Structure 1
Amino acid sequence: MDRRPAVSRWPLGLRALLVGLAAVPVLLALSETALAHAAALRGSTTTVDVPTWLFLATGGGAVGASFLLASFVTDRTFIRAIHEWGRTLPAPGHLLTLGVRLLGVGLLAGTVAVGYLGPPTGFRNFAVLLVWVVWWGGYVASTYLIGNMWPTLNPFRTLAGLVPSVERPYPDRLGTWPSVVGLLGLIWLEVISPLADDPRLLASTLVGYTLVTVAGSVVYGTETWFSRVDPIARAFALFGRFAPFERTTEGIELRLPGTALSEAGVADGRDEVAFVVGLLYVTTFDGFVATGLWSDVATAVVGVGVPPLATYLLAYLGGFALFLGAFWWSMGIARQYGKTYITRTALAERFAPSLVAIAAGYHVAHNLGFLLGLLPSVTAVGAAPLSPPQQPPVVAALPGWVSGIELTLVLVGHFVAVWVAHAAAYELLPGRLEAIKSQYGITLVMVAYTMISLWIVTTPTVAPPFLGGGGV
């Protein structure tokens, strides 16, 4: 009989991750108390009167507890009934669809025009507000809270559809890896450049993106380009799987939020798994570079002679590798404890979509205060986009309950993710105990993601170092 303590018999990788999880609140406790913020532009914070380590440990513990509660639900018929529940509603007519497409093209043209012709100063230009506040902060949230209308509204797709395509065969070896590179590239550009502050650069980027998407559609076809290459379309498609409404051939399908993420085929192959993880990671990194911890680390690294651009790039790619590596590690744990011969890739294809729920919760939490704080600016500048007020109005201090909603949304996203993973496990594995054990690794990773997300959302924002003037 093996008389070693139970913990010592756990795999080395599992013990290492547990040590890492235990170290997270200790390291982050350097911030002393948790401060909730909504956005860097608002510059206001709300203090949560508990130690940071306790606050983060409580959040991570809540996700762990949700896994334990889900483990009591072992009736496959009941789980399947929840995920198969739905109603079909009438679909909108062709005239409404055409109107939405024309609206999308009009908004793109107006954004580019105002970006070039309006004031050159950041949020006095309506193009900047429209893209970063209305579209990124508001519309993206509607995609997973309501449904994905982007295939119809997408102006890039509408314009690409007007141009004949030569329909060259798309190289299968590329898979959807170009969309992974595109996603990482877009967020990298947003982080290191003045894209969020310079309306001229923003307008030029939109023009360039339009030319690239139209050219790609001409070569490979609209359907292939926007389903396999275009990162924005693929991100919206995944967010739409979380939403309660989805357009189908039979009409508008109503379902419980998040349940479609457990279906087979949401992620197919390592490339699509990497895209899902990237979708979660890029929003996390965008928030991380505005923390005091990153400011201290970047300053120290640059201080020993590493160029600022290299510092950001190494951190960016290293962080993505860490997120992706942690997820693949969890799939190894799923195989080991689930006692299954299902490949790690096949497990990843079913478990990875659960991370979309985490990305959705963190995205809305990260942008809620930003959106609410700048809505007065959107109204004032939108009323006169070419001659806006010198000082557009903002909400200087949002009510304290906004911070509470932000934190709640982070946790709700993780709770839904735990349930989606639970449902996927019961679809894959025949044994009840094996299905529960297969979730050990992904639950630990989710706990780590939760604590990181909560720390970022509750940390005061600072200006990222070496990005003065909007670039490295």
Structure 2
Amino acid sequence: MSGRTERGAVERRRHRLAFPLAFLALLPTPAFAHASDRGHVLLLPTGYYIAGGALAVAISFLVLALVPPVAFDRFWRKRLPLFSFGDGSRTIISLISFAGFAILIAAGLFGSRDPLSNPLPLVIWTLLWAGFTLLQGVFGNLWAWLNPWYGPYRVAARIVGLRGDETQPSRLPPWLGFWLAFVLFFAFAWFELIDPAPDDPARLACAAGLYWLVTFFAMLAFGYETWSRRGEFLSVFFSIVARFAPFQREQGRLSLAWPGVGLLAAEPLPLSGMAFLLLALSSVSFDGLSKTFFWLGLFGVNPLEFPGRTALIGIGSFGLVLTFILLAAVFALAVFLGGRLAGNARSFADTAGLLVWSIVPIALAYHIAHYVTALLVDGQYALVALSDPFALGWNVFGTANMMVEAGVVAGAQSAWWLWNLQAGVIIAGHVLAVLVAHGFAWRSYGQPSRAALSQLPLTLLMIAYTIFGLWLLATPTAG
């Protein structure tokens, strides 16, 4: 009887909590075009999903430990050649992209003040950051063609008479590595996650316009290739994600391969590159963590009376740094313990520099799972806003009067398929990460037994991160 009484009390507390949550969901709140907040609390049996996800990652490790490395490597590296294409139109495409970017900046300065009516925040936070990352992970490095700097740089280089990057020695000292890109990426993450109004059109237009100018002059000073590979954080991030893509381009020929195979051809990243990649994962992880009842409760914040982003700047900044430090420390510990178990075949720096590439499938999976709801809803707002960028009654693309179907992410049925999609993506990302890590371990050790031993701590870390990621999706959030 006592068990029934306790269960009845729990159910009554759930019902009492459901009513204020439903009421709060109906209240008008500030719009954040890049956010991916959930409008419901999951009542699915998430414990089974979490256990199943952790088991799937563990089983993938055991299977890879038993499969003969040579046979698996031969299967893994198979490619299907498709067709060849050159770079002749790359400058034109980039110039068109630059013209579109200039129009968006103008719209941010002179268009609507509503982030859901102005195309600038919708394009940057939803179409570029949320959506384009997914395209990079599928179709390869499209950013090399679509970025708004390559075309203007080529034109300016011809006018000024700059030599090509291949004949121009790099003026960036080697010790800098990717640290400039890391600092810029951290500033971007802080602006997105911590700044009080990251999607205010005028504020965002000033930040994006200033960044374009600084980047353009840096490319003129240090060379386009040098700055794109080591300084411009979007180019560095998108090129890393593109290595995961099943569509790979080598020497002008496009081929179809297994997802993640491009990562296995990578060389060890330096410390700065490892920091950059780990920041890509930790920042999106903290974005999900920062809105949970658990995180807010640690600092005495009532999640049902969310005080707004301005009041949480200090807490958010601390959390963004702390999440990165903890992830970097745990990753380093897993690599170190793996080396001790198997007997170090390389230096710690080389081993960590290789194995950090296995973070890419996880980071991409978290990115997709985290932003899928924003992409589905705010992507529709973007289509509407792009047809009338200055709120003048235009209908350039015929979508200005399109009805936005926000119900695509609302309701029990949507909760079910969204949860399954997000959970499946996260689990698949971790399984692929285990596979990539094993590929690097085989390259380093040559012996299956030593390779498997070296991956045991890292696999445990990935299992723990799978549980953490699924918990983030299921736990109640505020704001």
Whether TM-score is above 0.5 comes out as: yes
**Does the 8 A contact of 2:58 with 2:463 survive in 1?**
yes
**Does the 8 A contact of 1:377 with 1:394 survive in 2?**
no
Aligned to 1:247: 249
Give 1:394 shift.
4.2
Q: Mapping of 1:180-329 within 5 angstroms?
A: 180-265=182-267, 267-299=268-300, 308-329=312-333
**Does the 8 A contact of 1:116 with 1:199 survive in 2?**
yes
Say whether 1:358 aligns with 2:362: yes
| One-letter amino acid of the structure 2 residue matched with residue 204 of structure 1 | C
| One-letter amino acid of the structure 2 residue matched with residue 77 of structure 1 | V
- 2: CA distance between counterparts of 1:460 and 1:391? 32
- Bigger shift: residues 336-345 or 226-235: 336-345
Give 1:142 shift.
0.6
| One-letter amino acid of the structure 2 residue matched with residue 395 of structure 1 | A
SS at match of 1:123: coil
Q: Structure 2 vs 1, CA of residues 361 and 250 (structure 1 numbering), >3 Å: closer, same or farther?
A: same
Say whether 1:114 aligns with 2:92: no
**Does the 8 A contact of 1:365 with 1:406 survive in 2?**
yes
- 2: CA distance between counterparts of 1:227 and 1:211? 18
Aligned to 1:413: 429
Q: Mapping of 1:379-418 within 5 angstroms?
A: 379-387=383-391, 393-398=404-409, 399=414, 400-418=416-434
Say whether 1:434 aligns with 2:445: no
- 1: CA distance between counterparts of 2:58 and 2:146? 39
Say whether 1:154 aligns with 2:130: no
Aligned-pair Cα RMSD in Å: 2.9
Q: Structure 2 vs 1, CA of residues 456 and 211 (structure 1 numbering), >3 Å: closer, same or farther?
A: same
Q: Structure 2 vs 1, CA of residues 43 and 319 (structure 1 numbering), >3 Å: closer, same or farther?
A: closer
Give 1:96 shift.
4.1
- 1: CA distance between counterparts of 2:39 and 2:477? 9
SS at match of 1:252: strand
**Does the 8 A contact of 2:334 with 2:458 survive in 1?**
yes
SS at match of 1:257: coil
Aligned to 2:340: 336
**Does the 8 A contact of 1:123 with 1:197 survive in 2?**
no
**Does the 8 A contact of 1:157 with 1:226 survive in 2?**
no
- 2: CA distance between counterparts of 1:115 and 1:317? 30
Q: Mapping of 1:48-67 within 5 angstroms?
A: 48-50=43-45, 52=47, 55-67=49-61
**Does the 8 A contact of 1:124 with 1:390 survive in 2?**
no
Q: Structure 2 vs 1, CA of residues 89 and 98 (structure 1 numbering), >3 Å: closer, same or farther?
A: farther
- 1: CA distance between counterparts of 2:313 and 2:355? 34
**Does the 8 A contact of 1:79 with 1:423 survive in 2?**
no
**Does the 8 A contact of 2:36 with 2:373 survive in 1?**
no
Relative to the length of structure 2, the TM-score reads 0.81
| One-letter amino acid of the structure 1 residue matched with residue 361 of structure 2 | A
Identity of matched residues, %: 26
- Bigger shift: residues 321-330 or 336-345: 336-345
Aligned to 1:8: none
SS at match of 1:213: helix
SS at match of 2:113: coil
SS at match of 1:197: coil
| Runs of 5+ unmatched residues, structure 1 | 1-30, 464-472
SS at match of 1:169: coil
SS at match of 1:361: helix
Q: Structure 2 vs 1, CA of residues 264 and 59 (structure 1 numbering), >3 Å: closer, same or farther?
A: same
Aligned to 1:18: none
Aligned to 1:457: 473
Say whether 1:369 aligns with 2:345: no
Q: Structure 2 vs 1, CA of residues 76 and 448 (structure 1 numbering), >3 Å: closer, same or farther?
A: same
- 1: CA distance between counterparts of 2:259 and 2:129? 21
- 2: CA distance between counterparts of 1:289 and 1:410? 19
Give 1:95 shift.
5.1
Q: Structure 2 vs 1, CA of residues 66 and 80 (structure 1 numbering), >3 Å: closer, same or farther?
A: closer
- 2: CA distance between counterparts of 1:91 and 1:101? 20
Q: Mapping of 1:79-158 within 5 angstroms?
A: 79-94=72-87, 96-158=89-151
| One-letter amino acid of the structure 2 residue matched with residue 434 of structure 1 | R
- 2: CA distance between counterparts of 1:326 and 1:436? 19
SS at match of 1:45: coil
Tell me how many residue pairs correspond in the alignment.
424
**Does the 8 A contact of 1:365 with 1:410 survive in 2?**
yes
SS at match of 1:353: helix
- 2: CA distance between counterparts of 1:402 and 1:236? 25
**Does the 8 A contact of 1:381 with 1:392 survive in 2?**
no
SS at match of 2:346: coil
- 1: CA distance between counterparts of 2:446 and 2:87? 45
Encode CA deviations 1:373-414: one digit per residue, 9 max, x unaligned: 233322322222222789973413522312211110111111
Q: Mapping of 1:10-89 within 5 angstroms?
A: 43-45=38-40, 47-50=42-45, 52=47, 55-73=49-67, 75-89=68-82
| One-letter amino acid of the structure 2 residue matched with residue 110 of structure 1 | I
| One-letter amino acid of the structure 2 residue matched with residue 141 of structure 1 | L
- Bigger shift: residues 164-173 or 315-324: 164-173
Q: Structure 2 vs 1, CA of residues 100 and 298 (structure 1 numbering), >3 Å: closer, same or farther?
A: farther
SS at match of 1:103: helix
Q: Structure 2 vs 1, CA of residues 320 and 338 (structure 1 numbering), >3 Å: closer, same or farther?
A: same
- 1: CA distance between counterparts of 2:433 and 2:101? 34
Encode CA deviations 1:432-467: one digit per residue, 9 max, x unaligned: 21110000111111112212211222234322xxxx
